[in-house]
Amino acid sequence: MGKVLLVVLDGASFHLLKEFKDDLRSFSTIIKEGIWGNLKSVFPSITPVALAALFSGKEPEHNGITGPKIFIKNKPLYKPLSAFSSTSLIDEPIWVYLSKKDTNYRSFISTIIT
């Protein structure tokens, strides 16, 4: 089975990565040996909305994450859910979907916050 490494540089412009790829040896190798490209984001193009679309494969109106906070009907407006958690998704992230199928797919999810 092949391996997939998905690298998300939140807030990084693709043109900057291309400009400095020779100074960033790891990214230079990924660009030379892997598959890469410039992606179009969803609207609004903020972290939780974009990542929810990426992880679920669905647009914001279909995955339930349309902003940084999620307001639930019949719940107080001062207690919204955070959209920075995959528990707020209406649909399952792709790694959950694949784990339920009769496949040998395994996932490792990691984040680095700086």
Tell me the pTM.
Answer: 0.69
Token readout for 112 is 């680095």
Average pLDDT value over all residues in the chain: 79
Which of these, 46, 54, 114, 112, lies nearest to 83 by C-alpha position?
Answer: 46
**Residue 114 pLDDT more than 70?**
no
Residues 17-27 have pLDDT tens digits of 778 878 888 87
